[in-house]
Structure 1
Amino acid sequence: MISFNYETNFILEKEAEISDWISQTILEENCREGEINYIFCNDEYLHKLNVEYLNHDTLTDIISFDYSVGKELHGDIYISVERVADNAKDFNVDFLEELSRVVIHGILHYCGYKDKTDEDIEIMRSKENHYLTTRH
């Protein structure tokens, strides 16, 4: 089950449609959907988590805590809507496109994709782009 939670005044439009898109992505990646929580927050909230749990004193757009068991995906995905908005401006893309990329990025991590090496980043971007085309 996918749920959307809010620690800021942002509200995601079309939750059911986005949830269905995420579920289809999980199926296409040959995984099973467990309990997945998206938590939308601001920079301050996510920065605090980044320092407290990951010992990173930086701003970020997403932090995910993966509790998956094998191919059954479980976890908490925190997204800073402030950071996504800033990144959308920096990358000259629409806010909702950047938000969709970040939303699916978290799921792809749970499916086993990494983004530490250049090769991993290239594969991750390719997967993100593929699923972004299935979103519209």
Structure 2
Amino acid sequence: MQTASRRFDLSVQYACNKEGLPSRPQFRGWARAALEGGGQVTIRLVEAEEGQELNREYRGKDYATNVLSFPYDTEPRVFGDLVICPDVVAREAAEQGKSLEAHYAHLVVHGMLHLQGWDHEEDDSAEAMEQREREILASLGYPDPYA
């Protein structure tokens, strides 16, 4: 039995066509690998229109982005939402020559780190965050997303 501090509750919401998207167990594995301690997280997969609306409302950027992180609390457990736009993820994976699965894994890990307070606004913090992403993804068998 997991202790309360290590317990991880994950909800995956498919607010778009589910065909060809990662499964809940895949999302859970990627998210859990990036989580230190426990938490309660929702991953919501959305159409480009909803992704654009959320990005505009919360970040002032009028386009759909790959992943948005909405942290609500980080201590003693992580509580937050990740919103992923599959259209953007698929386009980026193709443009960058990455497998779709590896790109999803990277974005979930990236988003989970944001939920835990990591950021990439300054060069030093960006370098540290990218290194942590590389370590987590390597432990899951995925290549360096920044190579």
With the shorter chain as reference, the TM-score category is: 0.7 to 0.9
Q: For structure 1, which segment, 95-104 or 116-125, has the greater mean C-alpha deviation from structure 2 after superposition?
A: 116-125
TM-score normalised to the size of structure 1? 0.85
Amino acid at match of 1:97: A
Does 1:22 find its partner at 2:21? Answer: no
Secondary structure of the 1:67 match is strand
Q: Where does residue 85 of structure 1 map in the other structure?
A: 90
Q: Deviation per CA, 1:57-109: give whole Å up to 9, x if none.
A: 13311111110142410011000111111111221111111111001111111
Does 1:121 find its partner at 2:120? Answer: no
* RMSD over aligned Cα atoms: 1.8
Instruction: State percent identity of aligned pairs.
Output: 25
Amino acid at match of 2:83: Y
Which of 105, 111, 131 is 2:110 aligned to?
105
Q: For structure 1, which segment, 63-72 or 34-43, has the greater mean C-alpha deviation from structure 2 after superposition?
A: 63-72
Secondary structure of the 2:84 match is strand
Contact 1:35 1:73 survives alignment (8 Å): yes
Spell out structure 1 runs of 4+ moving beyond 3 A.
Answer: 11-14
How far did 1:133 drift? 1.4
Q: Where does residue 74 of structure 1 map in the other structure?
A: 79
TM-score normalised to the size of structure 2? 0.80
Amino acid at match of 1:124: M
Contact 2:70 2:115 survives alignment (8 Å): no
How far did 1:21 drift? 4.1
Q: Superposed, which structure 2 residues align to 1:3-82 within 5 Å?
A: 3-10=11-18, 12-27=21-36, 32-82=37-87
1: CA distance, partners of 2:51 / 2:44: 10
1: CA distance, partners of 2:76 / 2:66: 25
1: CA distance, partners of 2:87 / 2:26: 23
